[in-house]
Amino acid sequence: MQSIGSKVIVRRLLFFLTLIFLLGLPASIRLVEIQKIQTGNYLIVEKGQGINSIIDSLKNQNNNKFLTILKLKYFFNSTNIIPGRYEIKPSMTYVELMEDIFEGNLQQFRFTIIEGTVAKDALKKLRQIIENNNLNFQISSKTLEIFSKESLILPDTYFFTNRQQLERLMINQKIRLDNILTRLWKNKPKDNPLKSINEALVLASIVEREAAVEWERAKISSVFLSRIRDGWRLDADPTLIYGYYGDFSKRITKENLKAVKGDNNPFNTYKIKGLPPRPICYPSLSSIESVIMSSPGEYFFFVAKGDGTHIFSKTLDEHNKAVNNR
């Protein structure tokens, strides 16, 4: 049986140990708070994973047993954690990463569709981003469907976090473009000969490849609209290239010009009248607006000057002179 003196000593010892612990805890937590993460570029948080489990993952990934003390720091935190991939940025501390996790700041991946490019190249670039970042998911069928044509979303810079969010993003961007097209089409000039929004997108893609400077888009649109109105062939070189090669990675040369112009494909506007069956590239919003909001004009021809701009002509004689004198 313990003496009264022994009990007093034990109580005092426990008191002092508790006091030391309580006084030292904030300092210990602070030391861990300022520590920078040493290993890894990202942390995967699984669905249903709790704070203690996340801290254990960090502890094991970095071989840092002192991280256990963070469990005390976040003991009363009841944040609903969003599963996914969180980026570990250079010189990031453990606390900064935990704050990102609590706020649901999932790592975002940047994807850019450039005006004038083709859908297969955009899809290839997207797949490279997924592969290079070890995202380990297959692109959904709905996303693939949107990337099957150059006319379902606008060229732009997009950010996504995972497979599901990428699909939602693409669907929302398709709806966005549909709304823009509907609004523009309602205000189309009466003398604009285009018969459908699809025709507008096709012509906009041609204008995108023809126009190198912003202020010429409407003028080039007007030329093509005049030709469509009067039943002429468009004679657009970009459609030749796309129809013959399937993209714009190659150019027409003097050696293959005859073969290209004589090729029987539905994009050869030197042989067919009217527009090709679908867009040849991603048209910018500026090109779409120019095509829908323009009217046929006085010019029927244009030729490149070599500086990005063009010489516009009303007659074939004027055009031939411009070609010879440029």
pLDDT on residue 30: 61
Tokens of 216: 């010429």
Residue 134, SS3? coil
Q: Degrees (nearest 5) of the Cα angle 110, 279, 122?
A: 20
Instruction: Return the bridge partners of 85, or none.
Output: 44
CA distance 157 to 4: 76
pLDDT tens figures, 249-258: 888 777 777 7
Beta carbons within 10 angstroms of residue 57's beta carbon: 17
Report CA 144 to chain centroid distance, whole Å. 14
pLDDT tens figures, 267-290: 999 988 899 999 999 999 999 999
8 Å CB contact between 248 and 241: yes
8 Å CB contact between 273 and 233: yes
Residue type, 74: Y
Tokens of 50: 């709790």
Whole-prediction pTM: 0.82
Q: Render 45-105 in DSSP notation, one character per residue.
A: EPTT--HHHHHHHHHHHHT-GGGGGHHHHTTT----PPPEEEE--TT-BHHHHHHHHHHT-
CA distances from 85 to 12, 41, 89, 171 (A): 48, 10, 12, 22
Which helix (H) or strand (E) element contains residue 1? none
Residue 35, SS3? coil
pLDDT tens figures, 182-211: 999 999 999 999 999 999 999 999 999 999
pLDDT tens figures, 134-176: 998 999 999 999 988 888 999 999 999 999 999 999 999 999 9
Helix axes 285-293, 163-186, angle to 10 degrees: 20
Residue 115 has pLDDT above 60, yes or no: yes
Instruction: For the chain, give every domain's residue range.
Output: 6-103, 109-183, 188-325
Ranges 12-16, 133-137, 261-265: which has the least confidence: 12-16
CA distances from 264 to 52, 108, 240, 254 (A): 66, 45, 10, 19
